[in-house]
């Protein structure tokens, strides 16, 4: 792969999943890539970058490579276009010679073998969001090395390190706030269900479990980010975060599918095609979560990182499309039933409910996949937390709307059969096609 497309690809994927720059110990083995992206980090005026390399070895099928052709540098987003222009104008141009990069060091600075190591802390004089790269401009060569990185900002007194990017340092507080909102949400949901025991179905218990897992997921995320912020490592909270995230995502897609089929509150069973949707969505979500863990716990420095990102995006798109089918099937089934069973008002109410549910699900998926990504892309690096806040607000609103729509009440207005409304409902069903 040539330098320019490879450079663009890894930067584009990195935009989707910005790293938090916790302390990392990485091992590179026989890697011949022209550039390796380690991480992205938003520095303030007190930012510092500590880079340590050891056990460095370079194997080349040609003559002994020039040490100055291999090295580390920082690159800001503003300088990216200029570097790309340089690479396009001269395919053999070495990015380490660019005047637009923040050069750190090359292999000329290494201590003599057998240590072949280097360790230094660099103050960041110009606040910005930078990507940490390793460049290999030596042709036909492969590099092996152990890399230790610490990217952080210092507080006003210059003593306390903050290992979260300048735009993500608010995340512990943000996640804690939303976890408390969800705890209040589940308390209200339990109270409401107890007040309407006769109308509670199994789907309502599953919905309650979803909110509990969501709250625990946010609590573990808050603790994860807090410990990364203070110490540079998650202290095991990342394990809990991934466990709750896996359960939450599987439960969310399952609840959407079950509500879309009308299971529990409209019918006590699932049809074969509806079971097949669940049998497709759940294993795919297992695969998506494996990809998510690989993405989150490694980084763009591994060779297959781009592939894992592409796999995650593909699986997520498939799942988002698959959960729409049960809702569409329910709407079509209700339209057919309305022509024969003589219960126009009830069928009109159900059709209205499921069409609204369809619109809500589509809106939620569109916002969390497209709008949130756009916010991450266009927001200044100091305000990356805004995208996370928007995503959590959209999720909370989505939960509130679907819980309200399918709440357990004895006389849900969607299912009331009023004889006086029959004639008007029949007219509405004839006039309204309920097309999606």
- Domain CATH number, residue 343: 1.20.1070
- For the stretch 27-86, pLDDT in tens is 999 988 888 888 889 999 999 999 999 999 999 888 788 999 999 999 988 888 888 888
In a domain, 304, yes or no: yes
Average pLDDT, the chain: 83
What is the domain range of residue 156?
3-162
Identify which has the larger pLDDT, 114 or 169: 169
Tokens linked to 317: 């798109």
Q: What is the DSSP string of 48-89?
A: EEEEEEEEEEEEESSSPPPGGGEEEEEEEHHHHHHHHHHHHH
Give the residue from 162, 183, 206 where a domain finishes.
Answer: 162
Name which of 220-234, 321-335, 378-392 the model is least confident about: 321-335
Helices 422-431 + 344-366 axis angle, to 10? 50
In a domain, 321, yes or no: yes
Average pLDDT over residues 6-12: 57
Is there a single domain that holds both residue 137 and residue 178? no
Is there a single domain that holds both residue 305 and residue 250? yes
Give the residue from 129, 144, 162 where a domain finishes.
Answer: 162
Is there a single domain that holds both residue 320 and residue 337? yes
Supply the pLDDT for residue 302: 75
Tokens linked to 97: 């010679």
Angle at 427 between CA 425 and CA 432, to 5 degrees: 90
Q: pTM for the complete prediction?
A: 0.84
Is there a single domain that holds both residue 337 and residue 227? yes
In a domain, 384, yes or no: yes
CA 41, CA 128: separation in Å to the nearest integer?
8
CA 367, CA 384: separation in Å to the nearest integer?
16
In a domain, 56, yes or no: yes
Is there a single domain that holds both residue 345 and residue 420? yes
Is there a single domain that holds both residue 356 and residue 395? yes
Give the residue from 162, 179, 211 where a domain finishes.
Answer: 162
Is there a single domain that holds both residue 124 and residue 208? no
Tokens linked to 179: 């976890």
Is there a single domain that holds both residue 175 and residue 152? no
Name which of 104-108, 228-232, 432-436 the model is least confident about: 432-436
- 3 pLDDT above the threshold of 60: no
Is there a single domain that holds both residue 355 and residue 247? yes
In a domain, 436, yes or no: no
In a domain, 145, yes or no: yes
- φ/ψ of 68, rounded to 5, equals -70, -10
Is there a single domain that holds both residue 154 and residue 254? no
CA quadruple 404, 407, 409, 411: dihedral, nearest 10: 70
- 263 pLDDT above the threshold of 90: no
> How many domains would you assign to the chain?
2
Q: Side by side, which strands form the sheet with 70-76?
A: 35-43, 128-136, 70-76, 102-106
Supply the pLDDT for residue 201: 87
- 427 pLDDT above the threshold of 60: no
Find all residues with CB under 8 Å of 203, minimum gap 6, and list them: 255, 258, 259, 263, 264, 265, 406
Contact 99, 65 (CB under 8 A): no
Q: pLDDT confidence of 421, banded at 50, 70, 90?
A: very low
- 304 pLDDT above the threshold of 50: yes
Is there a single domain that holds both residue 301 and residue 400? yes
Q: pLDDT confidence of 413, banded at 50, 70, 90?
A: very low
Is there a single domain that holds both residue 259 and residue 124? no
Residue 120 to residues 49, 139, 158, 253, 429: CA-CA distances in angstroms?
A: 8, 27, 18, 47, 73
In a domain, 409, yes or no: yes
Supply the pLDDT for residue 264: 62
In a domain, 357, yes or no: yes
């Amino acid at each position: 792969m040539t330098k320019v497309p490879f450079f663009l690809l890894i930067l584009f994927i990195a935009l989707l999943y910005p790293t938090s720059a916790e302390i990392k110990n990485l091992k590179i083995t026989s890697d011949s890539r022209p550039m390796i992206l380690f991480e992205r980090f938003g520095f303030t005026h007190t930012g510092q970058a500590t880079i340590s390399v050891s056990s460095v070895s370079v194997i080349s099928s040609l003559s002994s490579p020039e040490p100055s052709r291999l090295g580390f540098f920082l690159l800001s987003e503003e300088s990216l276009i200029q570097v790309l222009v340089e690479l396009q104008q001269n395919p053999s141009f070495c990015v380490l010679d660019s005047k637009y990069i923040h050069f750190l060091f090359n292999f000329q600075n290494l201590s003599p073998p057998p240590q072949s190591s280097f360790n230094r802390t660099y103050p960041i004089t110009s606040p910005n969001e930078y990507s940490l790269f390793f460049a290999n401009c030596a042709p036909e060569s492969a590099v092996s090395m152990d890399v230790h990185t610490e990217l952080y900002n210092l507080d006003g007194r210059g003593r306390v390190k903050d290992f979260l990017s300048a735009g993500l340092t608010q995340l512990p507080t943000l996640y804690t706030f939303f976890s408390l909102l969800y705890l209040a949400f589940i308390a209200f949901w339990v109270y409401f269900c107890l007040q309407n025991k006769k109308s509670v179905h199994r789907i309502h218990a599953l919905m309650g479990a979803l909110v509990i897992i969501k709250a625990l997921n946010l609590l573990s995320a808050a603790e994860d980010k807090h410990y990364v912020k203070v110490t540079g490592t998650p202290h095991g909270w990342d394990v809990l975060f991934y466990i709750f995230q896996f359960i939450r995502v599987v439960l969310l897609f399952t609840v959407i599918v079950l509500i879309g089929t009308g299971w529990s509150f409209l019918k006590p069973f699932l049809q074969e095609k509806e079971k097949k949707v669940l049998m497709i969505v759940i294993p795919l979500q297992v695969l998506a979560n494996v990809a998510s863990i690989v993405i989150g716990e490694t980084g763009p420095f591994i060779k297959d990182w781009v592939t894992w990102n592409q796999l995650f995006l593909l699986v997520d798109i498939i799942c988002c499309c698959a959960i729409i089918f049960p809702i569409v099937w329910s709407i079509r089934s209700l339209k057919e039933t309305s022509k024969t069973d003589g219960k126009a008002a009830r069928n009109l109410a159900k059709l209205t409910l499921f069409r609204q549910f369809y619109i809500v699900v589509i809106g939620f998926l569109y916002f969390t996949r497209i709008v949130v990504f756009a916010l991450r892309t266009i927001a200044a690096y100091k305000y990356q937390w805004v995208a996370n806040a928007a995503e959590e607000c959209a999720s909370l609103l989505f939960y509130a709307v679907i819980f309200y729509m399918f709440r357990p009440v004895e006389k849900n207005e969607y299912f009331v059969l009023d004889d006086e409304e029959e004639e008007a409902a029949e007219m509405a069903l004839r006039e309204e096609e309920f097309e999606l």
